[in-house]
Amino acid sequence: MTHAFVFSDDTLLCRQMPDGWWPLQVQLPESSSTSDDSTCQQAYQIGHVTLLESLAPSHWLSDSLPDVAHDLTDNNGFTAQATSAMTYDYAIVHDVILPIIAETSGNAFVPYRQLIPQLPAALSTQISQAIQLLRWQADTQFCSRCAAPAVHAETDERAMVCPVCRLRQYPRVQPCVITAVTRPNPQTGEMQILLAHHHRYGEQKLPLMYGLIAGFVEVGESLEHAVVREVAEEVNISLKDIRYVSSQPWPFPSNLMLGFRASYASGDIIIQEDELSHADFFDLSNLPKIPPKGSIARELIDQIAKEQGVLL
Ligand SMILES: [Zn+2]
């Protein structure tokens, strides 16, 4: 393990290539730790994490892929090797030699969101993992129960342990359901998708972006119940034929997006005004601006379009 991605919050050190930004890895010093040389200890130093090998998912992102850089024409076959990641601050403290980061150098910190549509799925997943683990390390330096300084678990599991009360803190994932609701257009029969414009997308940039209905799963709730509740709360309609499709880790802040599809059952759309400014069923042939490739929202929409023979 001698290389690492370098992060500053949700941005990643990249090099500009002819076809776009590409994540850059820097070489780590042979022994960056002066204490015992156990690799699992090194893995849990603040601001430095090991990353698992990441396999490209095969059940989605299978068609209509964006052009991928660097001869990775077979995107599904791309595997991101196990490596590590560290923060910029960690690199400075540990005398890791960084490439020159200046406007003219071709190197820069690029927001992860901007990279998603371009990166192979396996690499994108690995970078998402890195952002979440680095943030988790920074956020769990103290016991949340008794406030004593937490230490890294002695085993190689990812956990922070309180030496006083023994509370173990693990990286947390927040499940979030996202649902593509469809119905045939009552007049023409053309398949339609329910899309909503959220206030958080912003009202200034035109055309307005529309997304799917999504929300966090509550304590004690099943995923299916969360789908029904979120759609009822946000647009007042009821659903049938709810089925799970696929998932995507989403590091803003640490979500696991669980993608569902469902059919419209009944009800008129009444939007929840503190979250949405508009929602409606849109014909597949006449969609507003939708989320970019690489997001699960887009994958769900693309899947429906493909089934209907519509090219988006
Ligand atoms: Zn404690």
Q: DSSP string covering 257-295, please?
A: EEEEEEEEEE------TTTEEEEEEEEGGG--B-PPTTS
Residue 42 has pLDDT above 60, yes or no: no
Q: Which of 139, 159, 191 is the last residue of a domain?
A: 139
Q: Are residues 109 and 17 in the same domain?
A: yes
35-49, 91-105, 258-272: least confidently modelled range: 35-49
**Domain for residue 187, yes or no?**
yes
100-104, 168-172, 304-308: least confidently modelled range: 100-104
Which of the four pLDDT bands, split at 50, 70 and 90, describes residue 76?
low
Q: Considering the chain, what percentage of its residues have pLDDT values greater than 70?
A: 88
Q: Are residues 128 and 203 in the same domain?
A: no
Q: Are residues 179 and 132 in the same domain?
A: no
Residue 292 has pLDDT above 60, yes or no: yes
**Residues lining ligand 1 (ion), CB within 5 A?**
143, 145-146, 148, 162, 164-165, 167
Residue 48 Cα to ligand 1 midpoint, Å, equals: 23
Q: Are residues 125 and 185 in the same domain?
A: no
Residue 163 Cα to ligand 1 midpoint, Å, equals: 7
16 closest CA partner among 92, 115, 86, 131: 115
Q: Are residues 113 and 235 in the same domain?
A: no
**Domain for residue 192, yes or no?**
yes
Q: Are residues 221 and 275 in the same domain?
A: yes
Q: In what order do the strands lie in the sheet with 168-169?
A: 151-152, 160-161, 168-169
Q: Are residues 289 and 212 in the same domain?
A: yes
132, burial (CB in 10 Å: exposed 0-12, middle 13-18, buried 19+)? buried
Residue 297 Cα to ligand 1 midpoint, Å, equals: 40
CA distance 294 to 124: 9
This model's pTM is above 0.75: yes
Residue 162: other Cβ atoms inside 10 A: 20
Residue 161 Cα to ligand 1 midpoint, Å, equals: 8
Q: Are residues 10 and 130 in the same domain?
A: yes
Residue 160 Cα to ligand 1 midpoint, Å, equals: 10
The boundaries of the domain holding residue 118 are 3-139
Residue 62 has pLDDT above 70, yes or no: no
**Domain for residue 161, yes or no?**
no
Query: Checking phi first, is residue 56 left (phi over 0); if not, alpha (psi -120 to 50) or beta?
Result: beta
Torsion sign across C-alpha atoms 145, 148, 153, 159: positive
**Domain for residue 120, yes or no?**
yes
Residue 56 Cα to ligand 1 midpoint, Å, equals: 38
pLDDT single digits (tens) 79-108: 888 899 999 999 998 889 999 988 788 999
CATH number, position 252: 3.90.79.10
- State which of 98-107, 115-124, 259-268 shows the largest mean pLDDT: 259-268
Q: Are residues 130 and 209 in the same domain?
A: no
Dihedral over alpha carbons 156, 28, 81, 5 (to 10 degrees): 100
Alpha helices in 141-249 (DSSP H): 223-235
Which of the four pLDDT bands, split at 50, 70 and 90, describes residue 44?
low
108-122, 159-173, 226-240: least confidently modelled range: 108-122
Residue showing tokens 């979500």: 255
Residue 136: other Cβ atoms inside 10 A: 18
Residue 130 Cα to ligand 1 midpoint, Å, equals: 26
Q: Which of 139, 163, 189 is the last residue of a domain?
A: 139
Residue 149 Cα to ligand 1 midpoint, Å, equals: 8
Q: Which of 139, 157, 182 is the last residue of a domain?
A: 139
**Domain for residue 169, yes or no?**
no
Torsion sign across C-alpha atoms 221, 227, 231, 234: positive
Residue 52 Cα to ligand 1 midpoint, Å, equals: 29
**Domain for residue 60, yes or no?**
yes
Q: Are residues 133 and 210 in the same domain?
A: no
Supply the Cα-derived Rg of the chain in whole angstroms: 22
> Quick one: which H or E segment has residue 12?
strand 11-17
CATH number, position 29: 3.90.79
Residue 241 Cα to ligand 1 midpoint, Å, equals: 46
pLDDT computed for residue 73 by the predictor: 39
Residue 240 Cα to ligand 1 midpoint, Å, equals: 46
Q: Are residues 26 and 134 in the same domain?
A: yes
205, burial (CB in 10 Å: exposed 0-12, middle 13-18, buried 19+)? exposed
**Domain for residue 165, yes or no?**
no
Residue 155 Cα to ligand 1 midpoint, Å, equals: 18
Give the number of domains in the chain: 2
**Domain for residue 12, yes or no?**
yes
Residue 134 Cα to ligand 1 midpoint, Å, equals: 21
Residue 146 Cα to ligand 1 midpoint, Å, equals: 4
Q: Are residues 282 and 182 in the same domain?
A: yes
